[in-house]
Amino acid sequence: MSLNKKSFSLSDRAIEVVLSDVEPVKTKDTVMVVNAISTGGELQPVTHSQYNKSSATIAFKPIQAGRYVISYVEVPLSDMQQHAWATQEVQSLYAKGVLAGMNATDFDPQGELTRAQFLQMLVKISGNVSQPDHSITLPRDVKPDHWYAETVRMGLAMNIVEGRVDGAFGANDRITREDMAVMLYRAMQAAKRGNSSAPAVAGQLKFKDQADIAGYAEGAVASMLNLGVLKGLPDSTFAPKQTANRAQGAVAAARLLEQMY
């Protein structure tokens, strides 16, 4: 695509489209979403979109040429009442197809979050529409018929994850806070492509338990804290080995999506 004799790649989200006079949603459980319309008429949510209530505008970054439409998605999840701090993020990601409930009405915010589940969120918020590279060898504990096999292939191709020393991925292991930081940082780097930046200096960390943060994760933890994607705990610790739940993972993914825009 070219504009004023300059070439742009839609796949790099170099173009922003802004629509004005867009009325806000009227109900608390409804989310406004921009969708690409496929040649077959199917709607594909655009993950990189933002609504500005004060200016009544919605902006989005398309990754392909075509037709787009605004739709309103009613989120049916009814078990978020005790997790108001995560409701907006969960509803937004649900409406954009980044995550799903455990059933038709329950998100299970306190439920465990596995490495495969969190990786799937990050691959989806990246907006990468390319097909998985089947020449990539799967980790030894990921079989081609597992639901997360294609997600792991994409994660490896995008360098969001790497196999462990023993050749495994640990897809069903609960994700720790430090490993969440590493995946978040790598996903951000993948989205920036040629504009990658070095991780923040680990020495900036000021937690009581910062010595417990694994060396491979220190820079990523510092970077995600600096950006506000992750936060420390009220007792001045980071708790790197503590595992995250589904609500915490959704909030972190949504915050990263804001940084990617």
- Give domain status of residue 169, yes or no: yes
In the chain, the number of structural domains is 2
Output the CA torsion sign for 241, 243, 247, 250.
Answer: positive
Share of the chain above pLDDT 90, in %: 78
- Give domain status of residue 109, yes or no: no
Query: How is residue 232 written in tokens?
Result: 């420390």
pLDDT for 2 equals 45
pLDDT tens for each residue of 226-238? 999 999 999 999 9
Calculate the average pLDDT of the chain. 90
Say which residue, 234 or 63, is predicted with more confidence. Answer: 234
Q: Work out whether strand 67-74 and strand 30-37 pair parallel, antiparallel, or are unpaired.
A: antiparallel
pLDDT for 163 equals 81
Domain shared by 68 and 121, yes or no: no
pLDDT for 6 equals 54
Residue finishing a domain among 58, 74, 90? 74
pLDDT band at 75; cut points 50, 70, 90 = very high
Domain shared by 137 and 252, yes or no: yes
Domain shared by 164 and 222, yes or no: yes
Domain shared by 254 and 149, yes or no: yes
Residue finishing a domain among 74, 107, 125? 74
Domain shared by 240 and 126, yes or no: yes
- Give domain status of residue 91, yes or no: no
Residue finishing a domain among 41, 74, 107? 74
pTM score, two decimals?
0.90
**Average pLDDT of the segment spanning 239-251:** 97
pLDDT above 80: residue 194: no
Output the CA torsion sign for 196, 238, 206, 213.
Answer: negative
Q: Which domain holds residue 65?
A: 2-74
- Say if residues 91 and 254 touch (Cβ distance below 8 Å): no
**Average pLDDT of the segment spanning 182-202:** 76
pLDDT tens for each residue of 85-99? 999 999 999 999 999
